[in-house]
Amino acid sequence: MIGVYMTVDAVRMAKERGYDLLEVSPSADPPVCKIADYGKYMYEKKKKEHDAKKKQTVINIKEVQLRPQTDEHDLESRWLRIAAPSSRRPSWKASASQW
């Protein structure tokens, strides 16, 4: 931490060192900036986002369509084949609803 400086002085200090002035928190009073290499900063930021995305888990929900005529053996085999979170959706045909 260097301290509180005017914007012109902070930009001049960054240019003298061969770096850029990055605004970290613009809503703070006074705004918080840091002297760093912008290319390296963007690379590290992109790498952190990539690592966070890689650690996410995606849950796929499989759907099984059932009809009133579906036999119990068929139901058991379908549930064994899925072995994952699933949703059940009954499907009706016009002829099946007349039973």
Model pLDDT, residue 88: 60
The model's pTM is: 0.46
Residue pLDDT, tens place only, 9-40: 999 999 999 999 998 888 988 889 999 999 99
Question: What gap in Å lies between CA 67 and CA 92, rounded to an integer?
Answer: 6
Domains annotated for the chain, with CATH where assigned, are 7-54 (3.10.20.80), 57-90 (no CATH)
- Per-residue pLDDT tens over the stretch 36-69: 999 999 999 999 999 998 888 877 777 777 777 8
Sequence-ordered list of residues with C-beta below 8 angstroms from that of 57, at least 6 positions apart, any chain: none
Q: Is the dihedral of CA 75, 78, 83, 89 positive or negative?
A: negative
- Say whether pLDDT at 7 is over 80: yes
Tokens at 19, concatenated: 């770096």
Q: Which two tokens stand for residue 40?
A: 């390296």
